[in-house]
Structure 1
Amino acid sequence: MRNVSFRHRLFGLLLTLPAAVAASTDWEATYSVRQGTIEGGQAVQRYTAADGRYRLTLDVTPGGVVALFTQETFHDESSGLVDDGDLRPQRYVHVRAGGRKQRDYEYRFDWQAGQVAEVDGDRPPAVLQPGTLDELTYVEALRRALADGKTGLTLPVLYGSDGEIRDYRLQTLGEEEISTPAGRFRTIKVQRTQAGGKYTVTLWCAPALDYFPVRIDRHKRGRSQGTLLLSSFEAASGRAP
């Protein structure tokens, strides 16, 4: 049972992985996931944009010790409009494969009607607040805030597993220099909390990469759920850390 719990902690962390979006540049980033010194898997994010629309995906595969106990994979996808650099989601999807339980869901954002509703599901529609994002896009607003010198903000975010709009509170905790497989970075440390939530997420955002998160930690009631570290980053311009 301990191994199953370990697997769920690691993949719970991966599902909270926020994606940093450069609205004018396509990019691909790879993260490794670790529990202490133990390797747990890999997450690959891809962002593309054209003709005023974006597509952002996250694909997770098990690795290291975790791969001995599961071959479950995850695919998350957000798509919608790009408006003056801001992302406006229209569709959000989460799919699991290779596991015992399927907890797939798909949401459509109806901005004209002012609600976000699950497709082929029984969760009731949620009322859209201005600027509502999803779990793959909220970091773009954080990056912009950091670039503008802000030290905190609150964002409405669709929490896909229950279909609710939750306020994500993001607060800077100062600067810190950290090492990752992709290199050493000076970062702005940011903590994410939410009302009624059990989890705290800490992000280290690197100014040298336009405040892209190079490390992400997740804790549940003070206990570590794992760490994500940037392994590689490649933009359409060819820039890499």
Structure 2
Amino acid sequence: MKHFIIAASLALLTSVASAAPDAFQASYTVTAKGLDMGVMTASLRYNGNDYTYQKLTKANGLAALLSGDTLTERSTGTKDGDALIPANYLNHHKNRRKDKKDEFSFVTPTQIKGIFDGNAYELNVPKGTLDMATLELYLMDALASNQPLNYPIVSRGKLQDYRFRKLGKETITVPAGEYECEKVEVVHNDTERQTTLWLAPKLHYAIVQVRHKEDGDVIETRLKQYH
């Protein structure tokens, strides 16, 4: 159960600005080993020059009875021209056995203060560093404009280099319909993990499907509705 939500989530060349995506709402199914495990909703909203990107994943059915698993991920910040500049980030994973938070703020564009799993931390980071949620929005624009797919991100109290590799185009069918997609994978240092994403140009490169393989388990997040 500990990994069932992981698929619901997930630049060294920071001089390239990202064009901010239009506001949207989407819902997804989450499955593991072919079984329905949960639902995820995602929304990008604007209020003037401020943005909020939030994803909420909840276990359902038997999974809900066994684990009560929920994951809330939220990034807030500002829109500066065509770029989204993150200011605050929250990742809150809760179930019957644990309650973990990764929460941080950009004190300056190059300084972060946060708390991960109850431990406070401070980091000096490159200008243009992202959180894991805003990373998805930057990836959408990078594919649309053929930009490099390397990003500095902060996750779990650490600065990381997050890289994607293009795998070509593929047409897939999900609950929301059939879409021609750009297929990319996360470049993991750990060869036992594999994360693949499908993003649809027809939906402004919104994520249509995510497949995560780890410890012999396969978790899939598939688009159910988008508007």
Please classify the TM superposition score into its range, dividing by the shorter chain length. 0.7 to 0.9
Residues 102, 157 of structure 2: 8 Å contact kept: no
Matched-pair identity in %:
26
Residues 94, 100 of structure 2: 8 Å contact kept: no
TM-score, length-normalised on structure 2?
0.87
Match of 1:141, SS state, is helix
Structure 1 segment 211-222 matched on structure 2, within 5 A = 211-220=205-214
CA 1:98–1:140 in structure 2 vs 1: closer, same or farther (change >3 Å)?
closer
Q: Which residue does 1:156 correspond to in 2?
A: 152
Residues 24, 49 of structure 1: 8 Å contact kept: no
CA 1:43–1:211 in structure 2 vs 1: closer, same or farther (change >3 Å)?
same
* Bigger strand fraction: 2
CA 1:153–1:195 in structure 2 vs 1: closer, same or farther (change >3 Å)?
same
CA 1:118–1:154 in structure 2 vs 1: closer, same or farther (change >3 Å)?
same
Quote the offset at 1:182 in angstroms.
Answer: 0.2
Match of 1:104, SS state, is strand
Equivalent position amino acid for 2:26 in 1: A
CA deviation string 1:204-234 (max 9, x = no partner): 011101111100011226x443000000011
Equivalent position amino acid for 2:113 in 1: A
In 2: Cα distance, 1:24 partner to 1:147 partner: 11
In 2: Cα distance, 1:127 partner to 1:196 partner: 25
Q: Are 1:9 and 2:6 an aligned pair?
A: no
In 2: Cα distance, 1:69 partner to 1:36 partner: 16
In 2: Cα distance, 1:164 partner to 1:146 partner: 26
Equivalent position amino acid for 1:214 in 2: V
Q: Are 1:233 and 2:226 an aligned pair?
A: yes
Residues 134, 158 of structure 1: 8 Å contact kept: yes
Q: Are 1:131 and 2:128 an aligned pair?
A: yes
Give the counterpart of 2:58 among 38, 58, 61: 61
CA deviation string 1:85-119 (max 9, x = no partner): 2211110112244522211232011225x211115
In 2: Cα distance, 1:22 partner to 1:215 partner: 22
Q: CA RMSD in A?
A: 2.3
Residues 39, 65 of structure 1: 8 Å contact kept: no
Q: Which residue does 1:117 correspond to in 2?
A: 113
In 2: Cα distance, 1:108 partner to 1:196 partner: 28
Residues 56, 71 of structure 2: 8 Å contact kept: yes
Gaps of 5+ in 2: 11-17
Q: Which has the higher contact order (CA 8 A, sep 6+)?
A: 2
Quote the offset at 1:84 in angstroms.
Answer: 2.1
Quote the offset at 1:194 in angstroms.
Answer: 4.1
Match of 1:106, SS state, is strand
Structure 1 segment 31-46 matched on structure 2, within 5 A = 31-46=28-43
TM-score, length-normalised on structure 1?
0.82
Gaps of 5+ in 1: 1-6, 235-241
Structure 1 segment 71-220 matched on structure 2, within 5 A = 71-112=68-109, 114-119=110-115, 121-150=118-147, 152-159=148-155, 162-195=156-189, 199-220=193-214
Residues 20, 141 of structure 2: 8 Å contact kept: no
Residues 34, 41 of structure 1: 8 Å contact kept: yes
In 1: Cα distance, 2:7 partner to 2:121 partner: 26
